[in-house]
Structure 1
Amino acid sequence: MLLRAVPGQSKGGNMYRGHLLSYMLLLLAVTILLDQSDAQKSVPVTELTSKGGTNYSGSGEGKLEIFCYRARPYSPFGVFSSSRLEYRILPPSYALYEGESEQEVHYLHGNASQSWLPVLFQRKHVSFPPFTNKCIGIVSSYAYSFVFREYNIDYFRLLQCVASLALFFYARNLVHSPAIFYSGGALLGVLASILLLIFLLKRLFPGGRMTVAAMFVTGWSFWIYLLLQLWNSKFEIFCHYKHYFLAYIGLSAGIAFLICYRIGPPKDERTIDTMQILMQFVALNGVYFSSDAPEVTLAFCIIALLAYNFPARMKARFTTWLQRRFFKPTIRMLTEEEYIRQGDETTARELERLRDFARSPDCDAWKVMSRLRNPSRFGSFVLGESHLQDSEILEYETTGAHFDDDSALTHDTTDDDDGEHDVDIALRRNLLAEGARSASRYLTSASSVLANGNHTGNHLRNTILHRT
């Protein structure tokens, strides 16, 4: 051998070479750290602000450019606020790095050579949480420009929260709706038809299941790239192949609709409960992700759950209290014509209900007939005749003609018999003025009220005399 270890010096030489290698690695690490710190110092950081509609632009030299947004003070009134970066000139290709600080952006940029995924996610706008610091880094060889906007109220997020709450509270009704069942089934059929395409792709490739499984396991980045390219070119694809696209959607939706029509809406309570729970779970997720303040939206979700599971009796009492406390109904008094018309309508309706009950099997005819003074008259009434006889109407008409002088109606109200006589005279006068039906109504009221005592009878008598 050309090289021979000297006896007694092999151990010391190995130690020397080990120390030398350690010093070289340490020097390399220090050099890399110094280079990174110099690179961080050399990269300018631009503060994003929406005052005056400031426009920002990139040089397009392929260097890292960092833009940072400083969080605004937290306010519960800004729950649905949002901040967004909107491109005015979108570069054909660029790399985007997002982090909470400049150091994190530099770290992501330093490790970008290990992955090409950031280049795929090319978006036309970038969202910034209003209450959290966020920095982005852009690397592009093409010039670009964008504008940064802040919205105190993002109406899309507000609409998302309101719609999700409505979906949560009306999930039970929607589950029972056949229209929702058929439309949801058609939509699910369109989405499930993608599985048919995957099955056809499996038949095209050799190797069967193993080939497709290997594509999904090892080629996931290819599928991400393909989906992103399709999404970015969705309008061009739809314009060029809209006939095929509409035919595919119509065919898959039609087949799904026919299957749902054949099966029919669910009737099993457990199936309905499961669908309701899934729908309410989706609604709560929509409420939670409708704002960048998760503690507020989480409170919305908890309040919605408590309100939905609140006991029905206590909920009704609380609703009634709110209506009486803050929404007091205005009571409008009836006019004399409205009162008379309402009385006539009520009398006719109740008489018809009495006829229906007498004709129904629930009525014990023999028991009723045994308690009546004139069963034949009641039978005529049930068959549709009037509840007043002609002789009674004629008696009221002929008797009322003798009481044209108002002085004859003034009597002492201390005696019960005189009071009943006054009421009878007033009823006869009303018979001449308003007809037999109104007089019967006054007669019924008088007989029921006079039986309760002098005070009530006197009050009714005075009222009738005043009307007369």
Structure 2
Amino acid sequence: MNFTYALLIVYLTSPILTRAALLGAHNVHYLEQDETYKFSPPPYSNRQLQIFCYQGKPKNVIHIWQSVLLKITHPTDNFDQYDGPTPEQVHQEYLDKKYSWSVNLFATKSKNMKLNPFNTSCIGLDSRDAYSVNLKVIRIDLWKVLCLVIGVGLFLSAPTLSHNTIFHYLCGVSFGICASFLILIYFISRIFPRKTLMYGVIGAGWTIVIYFLQILWDNLKVIMSTYQIYVIWYIVFTGTLSFILCYRWGPVENPKTKNLIKWTLQALGIAMIFFSSHYQEAAMGQIILLLIFTYLPRRWVMPFKRYWKKRFPPKITPLSNDEYYEQGVRETAKALSELREFCSSPQCNQWKTALKIKDVKRFASFMEGNSHLSDEEILEYETSIRGELTDDSTESEMSEDESS
């Protein structure tokens, strides 16, 4: 009986002992900032699982745009990768794959990975070849800052962009370039017979399509460099066809559709702000401040603005004589141009305006682009200016004589 109990205890504790042996100190490596670990497997040995972990730091506002980059330098792609928050979960994933017949088509493998700087992250590597792992901490990730700036700009400019014709054309052309493969799927679907079984086959085949799209995304750089001419012609053809269709149907005119576009852009901007930092609480605080700044009623903001102007009044810089003259000429020409445009527009009733004007001929001359002043008025103005200058010079000479 004692021997039977001993065997039972060994049988029950053997997985724990095996896991503890595999997760020994020589297989789990905790990397620090700018640390590089080089692994060289012994010759004629089996593949060994090596687990690399990064212990996250406490959350702090000064680390809001911090990123942790884990770079794997491997001569080939002949290695297996396992991700998890702890070494135990990484090892469990390794065992599940090793002792199962399932094939995961969506397993990702990358040599450059961004880890969460505030959580513990582990990466398991299973390879026969030698490789090295480097951990780099980026204190201020410029890509995250750029994502935040673009998100805020997109959210604030959404009302303007939703009514912009050029933006509508750009979105239509971009969507046509990216979604042109849907036309191919449509023609292929016309070939299959419309039966319930075929719909199931097509639905199940989407997993293979997604798998090939994942391979395409992973090798996008190679495709762009190898088949550059074909990619350029594809973009030119689909872009031109999309522009023709957008021009034929015209930009969006329905106000409800414009509101949907505006809300979509704002949601996209909020998503970019949220994912611009691993510090999700701080990102949510930025979003709340942006929403308050955008949708807070003006009557609630005006008392604070008045108090601010009263507490810190703006500095007023007086204009010089030359600046005053230039500003007067510029603003007068601008106002006259706007007046001509209004009088030529359908909003102005020219006949009623002509009845209210004493000199219709002078008004017609002004509309044709001539000066709004007559020769007598210009002469009178120049005479008054000269008189004022003469009086000023006389007063200055008399003051100089009195002082002398």
State whether TM-score is above 0.5: yes
Write the letter of the residue equivalent to 2:383. Answer: A
After superposition, the Cα gap between the structure-2 partners of 1:361 and 1:163, relative to the gap in structure 1 and judged at 3 Å, is same
Corresponding position: 1:328 with 2:314: yes
Partner of 1:44: 27
Distance in 1, Cα, partners of 2:273 & 2:50? 35
Secondary structure class of the residue paired with 2:180: helix
Give how far 1:467 is off: 9.0
Secondary structure class of the residue paired with 2:53: strand
Distance in 1, Cα, partners of 2:329 & 2:127? 87
TM-score (norm 2): 0.74
Distance in 2, Cα, partners of 1:155 & 1:122? 25
Q: 1:73 aligns with which of 36, 58, 69?
A: 58
Please give the residue correspondences for 1:340-379 in structure 2 after superposition, counting only pairs within 5 Å: 361=352
After superposition, the Cα gap between the structure-2 partners of 1:213 and 1:360, relative to the gap in structure 1 and judged at 3 Å, is same
Corresponding position: 1:128 with 2:115: yes
Distance in 2, Cα, partners of 1:183 & 1:27? 68
Distance in 2, Cα, partners of 1:227 & 1:187? 19
Contact kept in structure 1, 2:86 and 2:121, CA below 8 Å: yes
Corresponding position: 1:233 with 2:243: no
Partner of 1:167: 154
Contact kept in structure 2, 1:95 and 1:119, CA below 8 Å: no
Cα deviations across residues 107-142 of structure 1 (Å, max 9, x unaligned)? 222212334438841112111111111111111223
Cα deviations across residues 207-245 of structure 1 (Å, max 9, x unaligned)? 77744642543662x344423332333333334433333
Q: 1:99 aligns with which of 57, 72, 84?
A: 84
The unaligned stretches of length 5 or more in structure 1 are 1-20, 370-381, 394-433, 443-460
Write the letter of the residue equivalent to 1:101. Answer: T
Distance in 1, Cα, partners of 2:54 & 2:10? 36
Identity %: 23
After superposition, the Cα gap between the structure-2 partners of 1:331 and 1:55, relative to the gap in structure 1 and judged at 3 Å, is same
Write the letter of the residue equivalent to 1:39. Answer: L
Corresponding position: 1:384 with 2:364: no
The unaligned stretches of length 5 or more in structure 2 are 344-349, 360-371, 399-404
Distance in 2, Cα, partners of 1:94 & 1:248? 35
Please give the residue correspondences for 1:117-266 in structure 2 after superposition, counting only pairs within 5 Å: 117=104, 120-203=107-190, 210-211=197-198, 213-217=200-204, 220=207, 222-266=208-252
Distance in 1, Cα, partners of 2:329 & 2:27? 89
After superposition, the Cα gap between the structure-2 partners of 1:255 and 1:96, relative to the gap in structure 1 and judged at 3 Å, is same
After superposition, the Cα gap between the structure-2 partners of 1:280 and 1:248, relative to the gap in structure 1 and judged at 3 Å, is same
Equivalenced residue count is: 366
Give how far 1:385 is off: 5.1
Structure number with greater CO (CA < 8 Å, separation at least 6) is 2
Partner of 1:30: 13
Distance in 2, Cα, partners of 1:350 & 1:466? 36
Partner of 1:438: 385
Distance in 2, Cα, partners of 1:262 & 1:33? 69
Partner of 2:35: 54
After superposition, the Cα gap between the structure-2 partners of 1:350 and 1:99, relative to the gap in structure 1 and judged at 3 Å, is closer
After superposition, the Cα gap between the structure-2 partners of 1:295 and 1:208, relative to the gap in structure 1 and judged at 3 Å, is same
TM-score (norm 1): 0.65
Cα deviations across residues 285-344 of structure 1 (Å, max 9, x unaligned)? 000001000001111111111111123465577667767866834413534x77788889
Distance in 1, Cα, partners of 2:335 & 2:388? 12
Contact kept in structure 1, 2:105 and 2:211, CA below 8 Å: no
Cα deviations across residues 70-93 of structure 1 (Å, max 9, x unaligned)? 112322011001001112325322
Distance in 2, Cα, partners of 1:254 & 1:349? 40
> What do you get for the CA RMSD once the two structures are aligned?
4.3
Write the letter of the residue equivalent to 2:128. Answer: S
Partner of 2:347: none
Distance in 1, Cα, partners of 2:328 & 2:143? 54
Q: Which structure has the larger Rg?
A: 1
Secondary structure class of the residue paired with 1:64: strand
Write the letter of the residue equivalent to 2:97. Answer: A
Distance in 2, Cα, partners of 1:321 & 1:91? 66
